[in-house]
Structure 1
Amino acid sequence: MNKTKSLIFESAIKTFSESGYRGATMDDIASNAGLAKGTLYYNFASKEEIFNFIVEEGLQILQNQVIEVQYMDMEPIQKLIKICRIQLTFLYGYTNFFKVVMSQLWGTENRQTELREKIRKYINEIEINIKAAMENGQIEKGDTELIAFQFFGSLCSSAIYESIHIEEISLENIIDSTIRFTLKGLGIHIEVAN
């Protein structure tokens, strides 16, 4: 991503998280990025195009890290633990991005439908490891797609906890606690180690 698009990416996330999709304007995004409005329109034709850009770029960062895990030589449960750690670290590192994504998950507009498809694509990566763990007998048989969505949801709920918590919290404690809780829901009782 070039410098201008990087500025737009950061500015759009900030603007959408503070003003919501409907309240955000191209003027606000350009101003927050320190760019002329013409520069913004040179790169993006509309607010929706910018929204789709930030979602695509943000989720690609997360998905690339998870895909790397798929190629690691380790048991499916260990991969799920790594995915937990990656997703939680990402959600805490990009809190405003998470707010933007969560605010647009529901609805029938194109950007919302496309966002759900992108989230589904990411969750499919989680499902791969759940299926493998079931095949290895490490997780009880069940609906792998539903379990993958539940797995994803339990991790997202920790990010919501962090976003409404006022005092300083330990990211490592939250990650370890969430991993234990999530794995326990899958019937797996293990000690979590970095």
Structure 2
Amino acid sequence: MSKKKELIYESALNAFANHGYSYTTMDAIAEEAKVAKGTLYYHFKTKEELFLYVNQKGVQMLIDSVAEAIKNPTLTPQQRIVHVLDEHLRFFSENEKLCTLLLTITSGDFERDVIIRDLLANYFTLMESYLGQLQQNGLIDSALEVQTLVSAFFGSIAFTVLRKMYRKEEIYTDDTRNTLLSMCKGVLGVH
């Protein structure tokens, strides 16, 4: 990615996370990125295109981060589950603006929001496949519904992170990690 496009991405992410879609203007993004409006419009024809790009890039960063943790061949399946939890906490603690955007901001447009929801579906598909595989291998009770497990796993982490962000507390602490791990014990084969 070009340096200018990365500056635009970071500025747009900040603006959308801080002000929402409706109150963010292309002029404000260009000003924050310290690029000419022509440069901004060269890379993104509309605010909607830029909003979708920011969300798409963010979700892909999350997917890549989690996929790398899932594939770590040096860990046992139980250690890998812990590593996946750690990776979620690390990712969200290092990407607070993205966390805010993905978990709290809607664009105000139903069709645009459906596109964002569909981007997150790629994350859920990855996690459902992973936990489904663990279930097939006997590490997760076969009576449990994988989709609900994934939603509960993601929701527990995401809303813990959001609450800590709003309270201006440190996100990735031993206490937070250990509490979330305790909730996973037994269900996800974590000991």
Q: TM-score, normalization: structure 1?
A: 0.86
Higher relative contact order (CA 8 A, sep 6+): 2
Query: Unpaired runs of 5+ in structure 1?
Result: none
- 1:112 aligns with 113
- 1:7 aligns with 7
Q: CA RMSD in A?
A: 2.2
Q: Residue type of the partner of 1:87?
A: H
Q: Residue by residue, what CA displacement relative to the aligned partner does 1:17-72 show, whole Å, maximum 9, x if unpaired?
A: 11111110101111110111111111101111111111111121221122223433
Q: Residue type of the partner of 1:64?
A: D
Alpha-carbon deviation of 1:188?
A: 4.1
Q: Residue type of the partner of 2:67?
A: I
Alpha-carbon deviation of 1:134?
A: 1.6
**Counterpart Cα distance in 2 of 1:117 and 1:185:** 31
SS across alignment from 1:163: helix
Whether the aligned pair in 2 keeps the contact of 1:9 and 1:54 (CA below 8 Å) is yes
- 2:125 aligns with 124
**Counterpart Cα distance in 1 of 2:27 and 2:186:** 46
Q: Structure 1 residues 98 and 76, CA, compared in 2 at 3 Å: closer, same or farther?
A: same
- 2:41 aligns with 41
- 2:145 aligns with 143
Q: Structure 1 residues 12 and 82, CA, compared in 2 at 3 Å: closer, same or farther?
A: same
Q: Residue type of the partner of 1:139?
A: I
Aligned pair 1:154/2:160, yes or no? no
- 2:69 aligns with 69
Equivalent runs, 1:98-109 vs 2, <5 Å: 98-104=99-105, 109=110
Equivalent pairs, count? 189
Identify the range of structure 1 (10-19 vs 73-82) with the bigger mean alpha-carbon deviation. Answer: 73-82
Alpha-carbon deviation of 1:124?
A: 1.6
Alpha-carbon deviation of 1:110?
A: 2.5
Query: Unpaired runs of 5+ in structure 2?
Result: none
Alpha-carbon deviation of 1:88?
A: 1.3
Which stretches of structure 1, 4 residues or more, deviate above 3 A after TM superposition? 74-77, 104-108
